[in-house]
Structure 1
C-alpha cells in the first residue's frame, strides 16, 4: 500500500467515479475529423482511375475515384472515397452513368458503412447476358463491373479487408494445377497462351465467378479459388 503525505491544508475533496473519469478522458481526447455531408471539398484530392473495357462496346469506360484524406499527419490518418466520375466516348449510357455517379458520390459523402454499394452493384444482372473479363472472371453486367472497380479501390485504401488466399490454400491450388497439367500435358501450353491463364476448357466457378473449374479425379475443382465439390 502506498502512503501519500499531504503537506497542505485540505480545503475540499471529491470522489471521482469511473464514469466521470471516462467522460473527462473523452472530453480531453483530440476531436477526429470524420466524413459528413457538410464537409467542404478540399482543393486537392487523391485519385485513382480504373479502365473498364467490355465486349459490349468498342469504347472503354474510365472510372475515377477521388479520396479525401482525413486526420492528415496523425496516427488516425485515413483515405475515404469522396466522389466518383465515369468518362467514355460511348454516349449510349450517358444519362444513367451521370445519375449513378452522383448517387454514389452522395453516399460516399454521407459517411457510415459505404461498402454495401459494392454488393448492391455486383448483384445487378443484364437481361441480355453478361461477359467474361480478361482473366476469366464473369461479370453479369456493366454496373457489376463498375462495382468491381469500386471494390478494388476500397480494398486498396483499406475500407474493405482483402482476405485473399491463405498459404495453405495457395499450396493446394498449385498442387491441383500441377496435377491437372500432368494429366493433360497438351493443355498446359494452351493454358499459358490463354488470356485467363486457365485451361481453355475450364468451366465457370460459382464461388469466385472465374472460368477456372476443371475435373480432377472425377471432382470439379476451381484452379483460382480452390473450391471443390468434393470438399
Structure 2
C-alpha cells in the first residue's frame, strides 16, 4: 500500500466501476479524496459513506463546471480523470450531437481539468487519465468515435508532460482492456469475442486498475510521465 496521508485527491467520475475502485484505493491509502458523479447519486453516496470521501455532483460534459470544480478543490496532490462515455454503432448513422458530447467528456474535459489542476498543484503533483487499450487497437466495428477519443489522450499526456515537467508534475494515461464493471460485465454478451483476443482470458478487476493508478500517484513513479500504461491481459498485444 502507498502512504497518501496528507495528500489531497480529486477523482472525476468516481461513483461506479473503475472510478469507485480508485476512490476506495486512494482513501484506503490515506488520501483525502473528493470525487464527482453525474447521474449515480445513490451509488456515489454509498462510496462516500464507505470510504469517508466526499461526493460532489459535476457534469463532465460541462466544461465550465469541471474547471470550477477543479479550481475550487484547491491545490491538489493527485488528480485522476476517469469520467468517460462510449457510443456504439455505425458511424454513418450516429447522431452528431451525441458524438460531440462524447468528445467533450472524453477529450476536452481531461484537457481542461489537467490544465486547471496544474495552476495550483504543488511541485511533484500527479495527474492520471483513464484511457483505453482501444486508443491503441480497435478490432471491432462501431466504436470509431470512442477510439478517436482514447487515442487523443495519448497526445494530451505527451504534450502536457513537457509543459508540466519542469515542476516535477507527472501526467500519465492508464489504458485498461476489458474490465469487469456494470458497463462491461465479465459474463456479458461480448465476453467470448473479447477473451479471444487476450492472453489472459478473463476480464480484469477494477481494483487491479486502481492499483496501477496508486503506483503512478506514489513516490516511486516520480520519473514516469508522458507515458501509456496498458493493463489489458494482452488484448492489444
Which category describes the TM-score, using the shorter chain as reference length? Answer: under 0.3
User: Comparing both structures, which one devotes a greater share of its residues to strand?
Assistant: 1
TM-score in terms of structure 1 length:
0.26
State which structure, 1 or 2, has the greater radius of gyration over its C-alpha atoms.
1
User: Comparing both structures, which one devotes a greater share of its residues to helix?
Assistant: 2
